[in-house]
């Protein structure tokens, strides 16, 4: 996981507020797209992506103000990555196509567990359902 975390951190460092705002405008469509993910080997992925999308949306719109920008930048990167069809492992590869997406999302959740746990509590979301720990 350390290599994945380094990859996430490096990519998130390039996420500017302008990029985050562009992603915000795409989130309604992406949320619908994420609900269509069929990844039985990664049963938490859809809930985790929806959680990250909600956190990004609430933070950028000013509804929730306690997530650090670095946390939001990582979440934005994970959402961008999951939205792309071509990643380290193309989504079209049966059974493994979402392994990279799941790993990136888990790395974001693990690195920011305290901040996301607090966000989940304020939003009435069961953190145990979202957590990276299956």
Measure the CA–CA gap between 120 and 130, rounded to whole angstroms: 9
Per-residue model confidence as pLDDT tens digits over 21-32:
999 999 999 999
> pLDDT tens-digit profile of 72-103?
999 999 999 988 765 555 444 555 556 778 89
pTM of the model: 0.90
Using left for φ > 0, alpha for ψ between -120 and 50, and beta otherwise, residue 84 falls in beta
Question: According to the model, what pLDDT value does residue 117 have?
Answer: 96
The residue-averaged pLDDT of 101-121 equals 94
Q: Taking the domains of the chain in order of start, what are their residue ranges?
A: 2-130
* More confident: 76 or 40: 76
Query: What token pair was written down for 106?
Result: 């888990």
Answer whether 4's CB lies under 8 Å from 109's CB. no
Taking the alpha carbons of 108, 113, 119, 120 in that order, is the dihedral positive or negative?
A: positive
């Amino acid at each position: 996981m350390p290599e994945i975390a380094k990859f996430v951190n490096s990519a998130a460092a390039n996420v500017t507020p302008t990029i985050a705002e562009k992603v915000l405008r795409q989130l309604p469509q992406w949320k619908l797209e994420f609900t269509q993910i069929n990844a039985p080997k990664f049963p938490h992925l859809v809930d985790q992506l929806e959680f990250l999308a909600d956190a990004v949306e609430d933070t950028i719109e000013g509804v929730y103000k306690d997530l650090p920008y670095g946390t939001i930048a990582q979440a934005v990167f994970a959402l961008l990555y999951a939205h792309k069809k071509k990643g380290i492992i193309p989504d079209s590869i049966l059974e493994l196509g979402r392994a990279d997406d799941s790993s990136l999302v888990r790395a974001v959740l693990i690195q920011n567990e305290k901040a996301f746990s607090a966000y989940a509590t304020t939003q009435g979301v069961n953190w145990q359902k979202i957590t990276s720990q299956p």
